[in-house]
Amino acid sequence: MEKRVTFRGWVLPLILIAPQVFISAVFFFYPAGQAVWQSLFIPDPFGLSTQFVGLGNFEYLLGDRHYLASILTTATFSIFVTLVSMIPALFLAVLADRLIKGSGVYRTLLIWPYAVAPAVAGVLWMFMFNTRVGVVSWYLGQFGYDWNHVLNGGEAMGLVVIASAWGRISYNFLFFFAGLQAVPRTVVEAAAIDGARFWRRFFTIILPLLSPTSFFLLVVNIVYAFFETFGVIHTITAGGPQQATTILVYKVFADGFVGQDLGLSSAQSVILLVLVGLLTIFQFKFIEKRVNY
C-alpha cells in the first residue's frame, strides 16, 4: 500500500528519518556486527590479545554438555510457561465471556499482573516460596512436603515457570477475551437451538474459531519465555541449582558478564539472533495480519 499524494524533496525526509536510522545503526547494527565478529575469536588466558578461531566457538558450544543442557532447559521452560499461562487465561476468558454484567470489573482486576515487571514478579514468588520465611513453603511443610527450590532443580524450574507465567495470564486473557467477543453470537445460538451443550459448543465451534488467536499467542508466549524472563530467573534462582534454570539468554549473560568469555558469549548471541530471526519470519509467515506491505 502506498500513498498517491506525496511531498517533494529528499533532504527533509532524510533528516526526519535520520534519528531512528542513527540509533538503530549505533545500538543495533554495530553491536550485532560486533557479536558476529567477536564470536570468531577466543581471548588468550591473560586477556591481552585474541586469536582467530573461525567457527571454533560454535563447534565448541554445540559439543558442550552445559550448552546442550541449556537448550533442553529453555525448551522445557518455554513449553511450560506457554501452557501454564494460556490454559488458565482461556478458562477465565470463557467465564468472563459468559457474564453479561460484571465482566468489566473482573477484567480490571485481572490485568494487574501484566503491569508487574517480571523481576518484581520474581521477588513476589520467591518470597512466597522462600525456604526460611515463605508462607506457601511453610504450609507445604505442614502437609509433610519439604519444599526447597534452592537445592531441588525440579522445584526451581516449577517456581520460575509459575512466576514467569503469572503476568502472562493477564496478557493472554485480554487476547482470548477479545477473540471470544468476536465469535458471532448467531452461530453459537444456532448450535444452542440444535441442542448442543456448552462444552460441546466450546470444543466444536468456539475453540476452532479462536485458533488464529491461540496460534498467535502460542508464538508470542514462546518469544516471551525465551527473551523476556531474564528478570524472573535472575531474582529467583540465578540460573541454579546446578544450572537447572539456566535458559539460553541467562547463559549469554552468565558467560559474558560473569565468566568474561566474550567469544563464547558472542557466539551464543549469534545463535540466538538466528533463532529470533527464524521465529520472526515464522510469525510473519503465519500471522500476516501484523504488517502488510
Partner 1 sequence: MVDVAHGMVEKRGVRLWLTHVLMVLGVLVIFFPIWLAFVASTVTQSEIVRPPMPLWPGNHFWENYTAALFSGVNVPVATMLLNSLIMAVGIAVGKIIISLLSAFAIVYFRFPGRGFFFWMIFITLMLPVEVRIVPTYEVVAGFGMLNNYSGLIFPLIASATATFLFRQFFLTIPDELAEAARVDGARPMQFFLDIVVPMSRTNIAALFVILFIYGWNQYLWPLLITTDPEMNTIVMGIKQMFPSGDDVAEWPVIMATSIMAMIPPVIVVVSMQKLFIRGLIDSEK
Which 245-264 residues touch partner 1, going by CB under 8 A?
249, 252-253, 256-257, 262
Please name every residue paired with 51 in a beta bridge, in sequence order, or none if there are none: 42
CB of 289 vs partner 1, minimal distance in Å: 6
CB of 150 vs partner 1, minimal distance in Å: 13
72 scored as a contact of partner 1 (CB under 8 A): no
- Residue 1 or 48 with smaller CB distance to partner 1: 1
26 scored as a contact of partner 1 (CB under 8 A): yes
Asked if 74 and 157 touch (Cβ cutoff 8 Å), the reply is no
- Residues 41-60 contacting partner 1, CB under 8 A: none
Count CA within 13 A, CB hemisphere, residue 175: 21
- Residue 78 or 170 with smaller CB distance to partner 1: 170
CB of 273 vs partner 1, minimal distance in Å: 6
Of 11-19, 46-54, 64-72, 75-83: span binding partner 1 (CB under 8 A): 11-19
Of 51-59, 66-74, 123-131, 145-153: span binding partner 1 (CB under 8 A): 123-131
- Which of 285, 247, 251 minimizes the C-alpha distance to 267? 251
Interface residue with partner 1, options 35, 159, 161, 210 (CB under 8 A)? 35
Maximum separation of any 2 CA atoms in the chain, in Å? 79
CB of 27 vs partner 1, minimal distance in Å: 4
- Residues 157-176 contacting partner 1, CB under 8 A: 166, 169-171, 174-175
Interface residue with partner 1, options 79, 119, 150, 207 (CB under 8 A)? 119
Structure-block grid coordinates of residue 100: 453479561
- The CA-atom distances, in angstroms, between 260 and each of 224, 230, 255, 287 are 26, 18, 6, 39
Interface residue with partner 1, options 78, 221, 237, 266 (CB under 8 A)? 266
12 scored as a contact of partner 1 (CB under 8 A): yes
Interface residue with partner 1, options 116, 150, 183, 209 (CB under 8 A)? 116
What phi and psi, each to the nearest 5 degrees, are found at residue 149?
-75, -10
Separation of alpha carbons 119 and 127, rounded Å: 12
121 scored as a contact of partner 1 (CB under 8 A): yes
230 scored as a contact of partner 1 (CB under 8 A): yes
Asked if 166 and 125 touch (Cβ cutoff 8 Å), the reply is yes
Going by their DSSP bridges, the two strands 41-43 and 50-52 should be labelled as antiparallel
Question: 3-class DSSP state for residue 291?
Answer: coil
| Dihedral in degrees, nearest 10, Cα atoms 212, 218, 219, 223 | 150
- Residue 62 or 105 with smaller CB distance to partner 1: 105
14 scored as a contact of partner 1 (CB under 8 A): yes
Q: Tell me which DSSP letter residue 4 carries.
A: S
Structure-block grid coordinates of residue 30: 554495530
Question: 3-class DSSP state for residue 181?
Answer: helix
Q: How many residues does the chain have?
A: 293
CB of 173 vs partner 1, minimal distance in Å: 9
Q: What is the H or E stretch that residue 162 is in?
A: helix 153-181
- Residues 84-103 contacting partner 1, CB under 8 A: 88, 91-92, 95-96, 98-100, 102
CB of 59 vs partner 1, minimal distance in Å: 20
